[in-house]
Amino acid sequence: MNIETARFNMIEQQIRPWDVLDGQVLSLLSVVKRENFVPLAHKALAFADMEIPLQSSSDGQVMLAPKVEARMLQNAALQATDKVLEIGTGSGYMAALLAHQSASVLTLEIDGALAQQARSNLQAAGIQNVEVRQADGSQGAAADGPFDVIVLSGSVPDVPQVLRHQLKLGGRLLAVVGEEPVMRASVITRTGDQQWQTSEPWDTVAPRLQGFPEHSQFSF
């Protein structure tokens, strides 16, 4: 199948039916070439409705399914002046999408090999407003904040307070929160110095981000 036909089908058959209707987001998915961020061994799966393993990672890290990435991008409601923090760079694809709609992106990746691959992918795509930093993202990047938008590209049991405090007033944090088999996309908006509002607009399941503590499994 022709690559552009496959891309069109991804947008029209997977993403649009998943309530991603923002015209700017849909157009961006045609501009940023997803196949260039997919490991060579999995190029044929670039537009499939699935998570794609990242071969340089030994810890089961993946690219999220296209519809999940697209809906998170839509919920972020980015502005051209926004300063963005992403946690969990992976191959750099989500950072590339974020970069096109914001002023700057700082993206944190715990796996050194993945961080280097993401830098190469972003450079090859000509994207210059992203900094890829090898770091444990569970504590965020307070010295570089506060941020207009924080995106967690993976799931967590809970969103740590330390990340909520790195939002500007009016800033949004997006994450997939919960335990399998029930996880929900959470949009957390900072409404005051010690106030946040949370909405859970849709359900999904996503692999865990590394470095975030799990809930205790003990029962008494």
Q: Is there a domain that residue 220 lies in?
A: no
Mean pLDDT score, 166-186: 95
pLDDT at 163 over 50: yes
Domains in the chain, number: 1
Which range of residues forms the domain containing residue 76? 3-204
Q: Is there a domain that residue 189 lies in?
A: yes
CB crowding 147-176: b at 16 or more within 10 Å, else e: bbbbbbbbbbeebeeebbebbeeebbbbbb
Each residue of 105-144: pLDDT tens digit? 999 999 999 999 999 999 999 999 999 999 999 999 999 9
- The residue type found at 104 is S
The domain spanning residue 26 has which CATH number? 3.40.50.150
In this prediction the pTM is 0.93
More confident residue, 112 or 220: 112
pLDDT at 176 over 90: yes
Q: Is there a domain that residue 216 lies in?
A: no
Q: Is there a domain that residue 219 lies in?
A: no
Q: Is there a domain that residue 149 lies in?
A: yes
Mean pLDDT score, 152-181: 95
